[in-house]
Amino acid sequence: MANRPFGHDTDSGLWVAAGAAAVSEVLADPACRVRPRSEPVPSGILGTPAGDVFGELVRMTDGAPQVRLKQVLLAALNTISEKQVVALAAEQARKAADWTDLQFGVPARVVATVLGLGGDIPAEAARLIGEFVRCVPASATAEDQAAAATAAARLLDLLGPCLRAGSSGLIGELVRLAARNGLPTTAPLPANVIGLLSQTYDATAGLVGNTLLALARHGKPDDLAGFVDEVVRHDAPIQNTRRYVVTATTVAGHEVPAGSTILLLLAAANRDPMANPDPHAFLPGRADPQVFTFGRGTHRCPGHVLAAAITIGVAAAVTGAPSHEGYRPSPNARIPVLKGQFG
């Protein structure tokens, strides 16, 4: 990365941004979009409920509708009490069945509860979201896409009736704020509620796992929040993202033609010595850390405070110190497979 912050990789055909400056430049460039112009929705799920959801997600769209909807999501997420999320995550962690349930099930159930979903819905939504996220990576197979379509249909049935102005929790805030901000339609809300759950899923499982491993290595600190922040930088649960070049552009002095795909190595940018001195050292409480794990610019993650609060709650409740058996196969997430006495 230090030798080649931006360049073309002939084997994969991708442009690769690894340096902090190059990653920042691409994420701020309006020529670089989140989907290829020719395929706004992956062809394998087009016309299915998973495709309908995908096509409405703020994460997967650019332009004015994305910006307006993002404002509503951010305003709604800002109403959440971090303290309550920490307490809820700790309570859920104490009831978790095993390490896998702790990593995946607990964050999904916490977010479902914060959304205001009650009864058995958080548990069912947590299960279904695991199926839905299978359609998201560029490497999704036909089988993944079919499973995601079935899950999306069930999630829309489950969540649709909850989206009312009088609803409690984050869903109620979303409906109220959409009206107050003059959103022309509330049609994208169900898809984006599914989006909040799906964006939580792998990423927070990775952060929980990487934090528990770091705690086993370094011991429990006084400042858990500062510790989690450094895990986010040092052992990024989301390692990369992509951008699709819609009009020819220039990045780090290289001419990048329209139609190119850029792989952005967020985890490498976190370790760029130009951004963070002594970047490979694990130093909780760093002064002014430059962190790329949650992205930058228009599509920056609106869930970072929520993800950190869930992880702090889980880490505070867990007494065991797991080790791990490698990582789950994933094109972009770093999720350790935890092992050892659960508790």
Q: Which amino acid is at 290?
A: Q
C-alpha–C-alpha distance, residues 122 and 107, integer Å:
10
Instruction: Rule CB under 6 A: say whether 295 interacts with ligand HEM.
Output: yes
Print the binding letters for residues 137-176 with ligand HEM: x by CB under 6 A, - otherwise.
----------------------------------------
C-alpha–C-alpha distance, residues 292 and 279, integer Å:
13
| Inter-residue contact 22 to 252 (CB < 8 Å) | yes
Report in angstroms how near the CB of residue 130 gets to ligand HEM at its nearest: 15
Instruction: Rule CB under 6 A: say whether 113 interacts with ligand HEM.
Output: no
C-alpha–C-alpha distance, residues 221 and 312, integer Å:
11
Q: Which residue in the shown chain puts its C-beta closest to ligand HEM?
A: 303
Instruction: Rule CB under 6 A: say whether 263 interacts with ligand HEM.
Output: no
In the complex with ligand HEM, the residue whose CB is nearer, 103 or 145, is 103
**Count of residues interacting with ligand HEM (CB under 6 A):** 25
Report in angstroms how near the CB of residue 143 gets to ligand HEM at its nearest: 25
In the complex with ligand HEM, the residue whose CB is nearer, 232 or 317, is 232
C-alpha–C-alpha distance, residues 240 and 242, integer Å:
7
The secondary structure of residue 336, as a DSSP letter, is E
Single out the residue of 188, 303, 313, 336 in contact with ligand HEM (rule: CB under 6 A).
303
C-alpha–C-alpha distance, residues 244 and 259, integer Å:
7
Report in angstroms how near the CB of residue 320 gets to ligand HEM at its nearest: 21
In the complex with ligand HEM, the residue whose CB is nearer, 162 or 238, is 238
Instruction: Rule CB under 6 A: say whether 105 interacts with ligand HEM.
Output: no
Report in angstroms how near the CB of residue 84 gets to ligand HEM at its nearest: 14
| Inter-residue contact 158 to 125 (CB < 8 Å) | yes
Report in angstroms how near the CB of residue 261 gets to ligand HEM at its nearest: 13
C-alpha–C-alpha distance, residues 210 and 323, integer Å:
10
What token pair was written down for 304? 């970072």
Instruction: Rule CB under 6 A: say whether 48 interacts with ligand HEM.
Output: no
- The separation between the first and the last C-alpha atoms of the chain, rounded to the nearest angstrom, is 39
Single out the residue of 16, 32, 111, 183 in contact with ligand HEM (rule: CB under 6 A).
111
Helix (H) or strand (E) holding 7: strand 6-9
Print the binding letters for residues 312-331 with ligand HEM: x by CB under 6 A, - otherwise.
--------------------
| Inter-residue contact 187 to 56 (CB < 8 Å) | yes
C-alpha–C-alpha distance, residues 143 and 161, integer Å:
29
What token pair was written down for 298? 């228009």
Number of residues that make up the chain: 343
| Inter-residue contact 240 to 342 (CB < 8 Å) | no
Instruction: Rule CB under 6 A: say whether 307 interacts with ligand HEM.
Output: yes
Single out the residue of 299, 309, 314, 338 in contact with ligand HEM (rule: CB under 6 A).
299
Report in angstroms how near the CB of residue 341 gets to ligand HEM at its nearest: 25
Report in angstroms how near the CB of residue 152 gets to ligand HEM at its nearest: 16
- Picking from 86, 104, 106, the residue whose alpha carbon sits closest to that of residue 309 is 86
Number of other residues whose CB lies within 10 A of the CB of residue 137: 15
| Interface of this chain with ligand HEM, residues 183 to 242, rule: CB under 6 A | 195-196, 199-200, 203-204, 207, 237-238, 241
* Residues near ligand HEM, by CB under 6 A: 34, 58-59, 70, 73, 111, 195-196, 199-200, 203-204, 207, 237-238, 241, 293-295, 299, 301-303, 306-307
